[in-house]
Amino acid sequence: MADATPVLAVEGLRKSFGPNEVLKGIDLKVGAGERIAILGSSGSGKSTFLRCINFMETPSAGRIELDGAPIGTQGRDGVLTAKSGELRRLRTRVGMIFQQFNLFPHMTVLENVMEGPVTVKGMKREEARAKAQDYLKRVGLAEKADQYPQRLSGGQQQRVAIARALAMEPEILLFDEPTSSLDPELVGEVLDVILGLSQEGRTMLLVTHELGFAYHFATRVLFLHEGRIHEQGTPDEVLKNPREERTQAFLRRFSAFHF
C-alpha cells in the first residue's frame, strides 16, 4: 500500500568529519522489499550514508526510523546517539556486508557464521549450527564449513560474510561495495548470490560501481553527489535516461570505451 509505514525512513541526515560535511541532508523512505542501488563518485557520501544507517558512524544530525520507531536520540548539538542495547537490537535487524570481509581468522567458516546468533541473540549452539549450515548452503559454500578463512578465495570469503549477515535474519541488508576488493574473475560469484537474495523479496540497499548489475538488481536507483541525493528513479530512468547533467557525466565515464 502506498501509505504503508516504510521499513526504513531517513530524514535530514547529516554527517561531518571535523569541518568536512560529507552528508548534507538526506531524506529517504524505503518500503518493504525495495532494492535500492546507490551510485556516485568517490567522496559523494555513499559508504558514509550506509554506515550512518547502521550507526557504524554517528550521524551529526537527522532522524532514522525502523518500522516507524526512531533509532537513537538527538542531543542539543544535533548529534544522533544510541545506547549500546539499542545498537545491538538495531544490528540484529539491519545487517551489513562490507568491502573487506572482516572474518575471524581463528574461527572456521561455520564458526564465523554461528558467532552472531550465539553471542548477540543468545541462540543455542545446536540451533545456530543448523542455521549456519543452511545459510552456507544458500551461498554455495556448504563444503567449506570446516575450513578457515585464509584457505578461501576472496569471493568465497565475501560469500561467507553474506551468510554471516543472513544468519542474524535481518529485516534490511546493507551492502557497501561488496565486490570492490575482489579480483575481476571473482566478482560474478558474489553478484550471483546477491541477485539470488534480491529475488526472495528482501529489503536491500547496495552501494556499487557495477552499473550493469545495478540495472538488473534494483527497483530504485539513487545517484549521490556532494552529500545529497542528486537524482533517483527506476533503473531505466536513472541509468538509461538520466535527467541531471551531473548524472549523465558520471555515466559517460563508464561507457567511454567500447571494444
224: domain CATH number is: 3.40.50.300
Cα separation, 110 vs 148, in Å, equals 9
pLDDT of residue 189: 94
pLDDT tens-digit profile of 134-188? 999 999 999 999 999 999 999 999 999 999 999 999 999 999 999 998 998 899 9
Bridge pairing between strands 20-30 and 80-81: unpaired
Q: pTM for the full model?
A: 0.93
Percent above pLDDT 70 for the chain: 97
Residue 135 counted as domain residue: no
Confidence of residue 256 (pLDDT cuts 50, 70, 90): low
Say if residues 15 and 23 touch (Cβ distance below 8 Å): yes
Q: What is the enclosing helix (H) or strand (E) of 125?
A: helix 125-138
pLDDT of residue 245: 96
Bridge partners for 222 per DSSP: 38, 232
pLDDT tens-digit profile of 68-124? 999 988 888 888 888 888 998 898 999 999 988 889 999 999 999 999 999 999 999
Total of domains in the chain:
1
Cα separation, 45 vs 162, in Å, equals 23
Residue 234 counted as domain residue: yes
User: What three-state secondary structure class fits 66?
Assistant: strand
Would the pLDDT of 229 be above 60?
A: yes
User: What three-state secondary structure class fits 247?
Assistant: helix
More confident call, 2 vs 145: 145
- Which range, of 6-15, 85-94, 201-210, averages the lowest pLDDT? 85-94
Grid cell in block for residue 78? 544535533
pLDDT of residue 112: 97
pLDDT of residue 258: 54
Residue 153 counted as domain residue: no
Would the pLDDT of 246 be above 80?
A: yes
pLDDT of residue 88: 87
pLDDT of residue 4: 81
Confidence of residue 254 (pLDDT cuts 50, 70, 90): confident
Residue 136 counted as domain residue: no
Residue 167 counted as domain residue: no
Residue 176 counted as domain residue: yes
Residue 166 counted as domain residue: no
Closest among 177, 186, 16, 17 to 96, alpha carbons compared: 177
Would the pLDDT of 201 be above 50?
A: yes
Confidence of residue 1 (pLDDT cuts 50, 70, 90): very low
Over range 195-221, report the average pLDDT. Answer: 94
Residue 159 counted as domain residue: no
Parent domain of 220: 29-101+172-253
